[in-house]
Amino acid sequence: MPTSPAQPIIDRCLEENFVAAGVVPARRSPTAAQFQEWLAEGRHGEMHWMAEHVDVRVDPRELVPGARSVIVVADRYDGSSDDNRPPGGGRIARYARGRDYHRYMKKRLHRVADALLADHPGEVFRACVDTAPILEREVAAAAGLGAIGKHTLLIEPAVGSWLLLGEIVTTLEVEPTGSDERLDPCGTCTRCIEACPTDAITPWSVDASRCVSYLTIEHRTRIDPAFHEGMGDWLFGCDLCQEACPHNQPTDRTASSSREAQYEARSEGRDAAGASFDIREVLDWTEEDRRRAFETSAMKRAKLGMMRRNAVIVAGNLARGGGAPDLLDRLAQLAADPSEDELVRATARDVLAQLGDGAVET
């Protein structure tokens, strides 16, 4: 069967409001050995699922037997400055402030896949948004959507890294749009490395077990107190490496670049900008409060105990230097309450010990 041209497929993706699309041959990752080494060093932390189905993760042909191509799409979200946030809040990573991208992107990818199937009956089209084991930034770069920076995120030329990615793995052979040349968007710049408060980044590699995004979203147990201060006021995720990146600084082009309206920050239970939750409220959240706050949000993957654990750490950081004595009192109550969630209670004890108020009855 002859190779299908890429442009009609890209056009179909753009009709679904994706800001970019490209195609790469389905093949084994050229960085498979490095990825397996990264896993062997334990840099995936408690993300045990990353060590499962490694053969599938490094080769989409294992995900879809007979796959010949991967169609890659991108959404862009708002990376505007948070400088005007009110004090006392726990920050939310920008990608999670609006509608859950998993559902929104997958719904549109399914429409693209259905249209392609109608044009190419007998072929297989599988839509993937995070839930399938694909090295998405690598395939996106190979498809020509951008270049991977030292912080391991995809950088769109002259626009930045505020991107969400999705894929369709297919048995249809489609003309590739990228090249095998690896571009370096960073040069000698190391701003992302310097901005990371937990030293998680080395050039083109992130030790997830040290990353604030991982710690606040994926790490399910007690967080090493050595990382507490570095977590700052981040309640869910972290954008510091992206905020520092020169590619993400405001320009006329970034100001005029289209962004998906579905990812605009919601305001329910948050500050006026939708960028943070009041820490005092999160400390006292119930499961119903969490569900209400995270409705239609990508944040719902974080369980109640994790969010309150994160809030305890942020509260401790807000209280450093003698401020917010009411937060210290609340942490002391949590640490001393035998009926409290043990993850929250233990974290409160850790925070108080760091602040010099560790004499809490246990």
How far apart, in whole angstroms, are the C-alpha atoms of residue 182 and residue 77?
Answer: 25
How far apart, in whole angstroms, are the C-alpha atoms of residue 226 and residue 197?
Answer: 11
Among residues 82, 130, 233, 289, the one annotated as catalytic is 130
**Range 218-242 average pLDDT:** 97
* Segment 106-136, tens digit of pLDDT: 999 999 999 999 999 999 999 999 878 899 9
How far apart, in whole angstroms, are the C-alpha atoms of residue 275 and residue 284?
Answer: 19
Contact 309, 347 (CB under 8 A): yes
Query: Which pLDDT does position 86 carry in this prediction?
Result: 75
To the question of pTM greater than 0.95 for the whole model, the response is no
Q: What b-and-e string marks burial along 236-269, b requiring 16 or more CB atoms within 10 Å of the CB? A: bbbbbbbbbbebbeeeeebeebebbebbebbeee
For all residues of the chain together, what is the average pLDDT? Answer: 93
**Range 253-274 average pLDDT:** 82
- Is 130 annotated as catalytic? yes
Residue 57 pLDDT greater than 50, yes or no: yes
Higher pLDDT: 2 or 305? It is: 305
Gyration radius (Cα) of the chain, Å: 22
Q: For the chain, what percent of residues have pLDDT higher than 90?
A: 80
Residue 356 pLDDT greater than 70, yes or no: yes
Contact 29, 14 (CB under 8 A): no
Q: For the chain, what percent of residues have pLDDT higher than 70?
A: 98
How far apart, in whole angstroms, are the C-alpha atoms of residue 278 and residue 134?
Answer: 36
Residue 173 pLDDT greater than 90, yes or no: yes
Tell me the pLDDT band of 296, cut-offs 50, 70 and 90.
confident
Residue 38 pLDDT greater than 80, yes or no: yes
Contact 303, 291 (CB under 8 A): no
Query: Which pLDDT does position 1 carry in this prediction?
Result: 64
**Structural domain spans, the chain:** 7-82+94-170, 191-355
For residue 86, give both structure tokens: 């009110």
Query: Which pLDDT does position 219 carry in this prediction?
Result: 96
Query: Which pLDDT does position 359 carry in this prediction?
Result: 43
Higher pLDDT: 331 or 131? It is: 331
Tell me the pLDDT band of 362, cut-offs 50, 70 and 90.
very low
- Strand-pair partners of 126: 169
User: Got the DSSP string for 24-45?
Assistant: EE----TTHHHHHHHHHTTTTT
Query: Which pLDDT does position 82 carry in this prediction?
Result: 85
